[in-house]
Structure 1
Amino acid sequence: MKTLRFAALAALALLGLASPSRAQTAPYHLLHTIPVGGEGGWDYLYVDPAGERLYVSHGTQTEVIDLKTRKLLGAVPNTPGVHGITVVPGAGRGYITCGRANACVVFDVKTLQNLSTIPTGPKPDAILYDQYSQRVFAFSNDGGKSTVLDGASGKVLGTAELGGDVEEPATDGKGHIFVNIEDKSEVIEFDAKTLAVYHRYPLAPGAEPTGLAFDAKNNRLFSACANQKLVVTDSRTGKQVAVLPIGKGADGAAFDPSTGNIVTSNGEGTLTVIHQDSPTKYTVVATIPTARGARTLAQDPQTHHLFTCTADLGAAPPATTDIPRPRPSIVPGTFRVLEFGH
């Protein structure tokens, strides 16, 4: 019987049916396409699991989608050059960075109306609410600053001097904030309360990092870089653990601790799925088609679904001195959210 059992398990393993890692890394597939319409570009998406809402940056407003019905609930108006969105749990308010206005808009999560506008550093981009410090960090993509706000009141508490063009952040939930510095190709660590910078870790051979995800259990940072590399860094020591290939135009990253999957969203129109086989071993397991322009990413921590957004794209306008790399034109009325899951 022991021999027969061994033979059966061996046969199953050959078929891939007895492999736990195979079950964990089943490719994602498109579950829903949520039409939004309208005009304008886009950047970050944000999932509010408590409110069961998805917030989507879109031109001069922020679209709000009900995740139960996948219908538009409305929009937060007057958010010119919207980039990042976050909601403070239990406070009834959210915060939106407006790159064109050099400001952060505070809004009511029930009415979606603007409560106030707070000046920030130049070109505020990513934003983060840190539960440990109960602070909101509005990161400038120009000038290396982060405007620090009290999450409950919106009061300005200070400015973190981070040095460089700041991109996506992550928190360990214990008072340490990590953030990619795009122009210096590094990831840094600073204190959520004192705002002192503790460490600056180089990401070479990765260059121009944008998307950032974090594995709190294993102290791993995942930086998605513009030169088609994902760099894995030990957040305690700064040591590089792995460098893996990803798609072109990556601007978002997510980590799912339930599956061990790291996913990057690539503007070329793909998701790269990498599995954490162990804290020191990583394997690219799938490339999932999305749509051209779908470069940002948000993950629902409850359903583990992934969200990205895009629109139909036309030809790019001619390059100028001010805009050497113009983006393609956007076909009006085609903006949509793509939802992926297992």
Structure 2
Amino acid sequence: MKRKTFLRAAMAVGLSSTLLCGALHAAPVAEHAQFEVAKHYTLGGTDGWDYVGYDPVRHHLFISRASHVQVVDTDTGRLVGEIENTDGVHGFAFVQDQKLGFITNGRADTITVVDLGTLRTVDTIKAGGPDPDGIMYALNLKRLYVSNGHDNSVSAIDPATRKVVATMPVGGKPESLAVDNDGRIFVNVEDKGEIVAMDGKANKVLAHWSIAPCEGPSGLAIDTKAERLFTVCANNRMMVIDARSGHQVAQLPIGGHPDAAAFDPALKTAFSSNGADGTLTVVHEDDADHYTVLQNVPTQVGAKSMALDDATHRVYLVSSKFGSAPAATADNPHPHASVVPDTFNVLVAQRKPQSAGN
């Protein structure tokens, strides 16, 4: 995922929702659970961040912090470990039957393998291409899939042997991934405005689907039962795509600079974490072809990434307060705003308690 200046991205917020017609319903808010940010856990530090990942077995939240990973106990908010030597860390995948976590390191072109119980590094894998970024474990295929950001490809890795077994060209910069029940892999291609569908069994590309007018698709989630993909776009849209045909089902208004999407199957709810304006967009799936924006929950500017615990219906986000950006230079023409020390925190969004009689 990209690390952009949130203040620059915030200037792009404000696209009128009237432009986004699709299959958008008026929101019957009272019928559905309402979300709020209920907790904050302060971690500190001045490093930036990218993906966050959730280990549901141990209730651990993994947070990428530039060259190391912070691991937080989500029951207590306590920092329980740090994983070092993850240069340019991006994403996380968890292989529970082997008790292993896999971490992509974009600058090192490697994947760190950690014991999920001890958080110790047990191996380092050479990635299938430069700048490994998004990563996903497909349980039904027993394969990891990694987006190689500078190679325009997606690699499949056998977690048992820790070897790259295939690499598929996708024609552009790949981002987040998803998998359906039949072993088809999907990836957002950020610079092409596409979703590429792949056969995870045969390791071949099946289709390139344009998702215009979506620009810069980043986060991707799937409802495997309804066969719907949810992709979030830099131009303030969530696109709902038929995972069988690539047909566009709906467009929905979201906040600026989204960088992650998630879907809660029990609540039939999709989420978009929007860093530019500090909101969490909550979208209800009324049926496979109709969707309702329920809320834009206030979070914090910079909270672009998230992880969902679909057992508790909690969404974990991270952000900080920002200082001024350094002066632009030839080597760094778009410097990031600085992170204010000791303000980096985890935000926990969850359902509001229902009042008596509801």
**What TM-score comes out, normalization by structure 2 length?**
0.86
Q: Which amino acid is 2:179 matched to?
A: T
2: distance between equivalents of 1:158 and 1:333? 43
State how 1:273-292 maps to structure 2 within 5 Å.
Answer: 273-292=282-301
Q: Which position in structure 2 is the counterpart of 1:142?
A: 150
Is residue 221 from structure 1 mapped to residue 251 from structure 2 by the alignment?
A: no
Q: 1:78 aligns with which of 71, 85, 88?
A: 85
1:271 is the counterpart of 2:280: yes
Q: Deviations over 1:36-82 (max 9, x none)?
A: 11231111111111222111111211111122322111111111111
Contact 1:181–1:188 (Cα < 8 Å) also in 2:
yes
Bigger Cα displacement from structure 2, 26-35 vs 95-104: 26-35
Per the alignment, residue 8 of structure 1 pairs with none
**Closer, same or farther in 2 for the Cα pair 1:340/1:239, shift >3 Å?**
same
Q: C-alpha separation between the residues in 2 aligned to 1:225 and 1:325?
A: 21
Structure 1 residues 331 and 91: CA distance shift in structure 2, 3 A = same
**How far, CA to CA, are the matches of 2:307 and 2:165 in structure 1?**
28
Query: In the superposition, relative to structure 1, how do residues 312 and 238 fare at CA in structure 2: closer, same or farther (>3 Å)?
Result: same
Q: What SS does the corresponding residue of 1:341 show, helix, strand or coil?
A: strand
Shift, 1:136, TM fit: 1.1
Matched, 1:326 2:328: no
Q: How does 1:97-246 map to 2 (within 5 A)?
A: 97-120=104-127, 121-246=129-254
Contact 1:129 1:151 in 2 (8 A): no
Instruction: Show the counterpart of 1:250.
Output: 258
Amino acid of the structure 2 residue aligned with 1:125: D
What is the deviation of 1:323? Answer: 4.2
- Cα displacement string for residues 116-155 of structure 1 (whole angstroms, at most 9, x for unaligned residues): 2222211111111110111111211222122321122312
Could you tell me which amino acid in structure 2 is paired with residue 51 of structure 1? Answer: R
Higher-RCO chain (CA-CA 8 Å, sequence separation at least 6):
2
User: Residue 90 of structure 1: SS of its match in structure 2?
Assistant: helix
1:66 maps to which of 59, 68, 73: 73
The alignment status of 1:41 with 2:48, answered yes or no, reads yes
Identity %: 41
User: 1:192, CA displacement in angstroms?
Assistant: 1.4
In 2, Cα distance between the equivalents of 1:181 and 1:324? Answer: 25
Q: Which has the larger Rg?
A: 1
User: Partner letter of residue 342 of structure 2?
Assistant: G
2:322 corresponding residue in structure 1: 313
| Alpha-carbon distance between aligned partners in 2 of 1:90 and 1:326, rounded to the nearest angstrom | 42
How many equivalent pairs are there? 323
Q: Is 1:340 matched up with 2:355?
A: no
- Distance, in Å, in 2 between the alignment partners of 1:207 and 1:56 is 26
Deviations 1:189-232 (A, max 9, x none): 10113220111111101111001111111111111000001111
Asked if 1:90 corresponds to 2:97, the answer is yes
Contact 1:253 1:265 in 2 (8 A): yes
Q: Distance in 2 between matches of 1:296 and 1:302?
A: 19
In 1: Cα distance, 2:172 partner to 2:273 partner: 23
Q: Which residue number in structure 1 is paired with residue 270 of structure 2? A: 262
Q: Distance in 1 between matches of 2:179 and 2:235?
A: 25
1:158-184 CA-partner distances (Å, limit 9, x unpaired): 222222101111111321111100000
Unaligned runs of 5+ in 1: 1-19
Determine the C-alpha separation between the residues in 1 that align with 2:175 and 2:337. Answer: 22
After TM superposition, the structure 1 stretch with the greater mean CA deviation from structure 2, 314-323 or 261-270, is: 314-323
Letter in 1 for 2:318: C
Displacement of 1:325 after TM fit?
A: 3.5
State the 1:324 CA deviation: 4.2
User: Aligned-residue CA RMSD in angstroms?
Assistant: 1.6
1:250-270 per-residue CA deviation (whole Å, 9 max, x = no partner) reads: 111111122222110001211
Alpha-carbon separation, structure 2, partners of 1:284 and 1:301: 19
Aligned partners of 2:81, 2:74: CA distance in 1, in Å?
13
Quote the offset at 1:187 in angstroms.
0.7
* TM superposition shift of 1:322: 5.0
What does 1:15-54 correspond to in 2, within 5 Å? 22=29, 25-54=32-61
In structure 2, distance between residues paired with 1:24 and 1:157: 47
Cα contact 1:21–1:277 (8 A) shared by 2: no
Structure 2 counterpart SS, 1:217:
coil
Structure 1 contact 275–285 (Cα < 8 Å) conserved: yes
Deviates more, 1:271-280 or 1:317-326: 317-326
2: CA distance between counterparts of 1:169 and 1:156?
A: 17
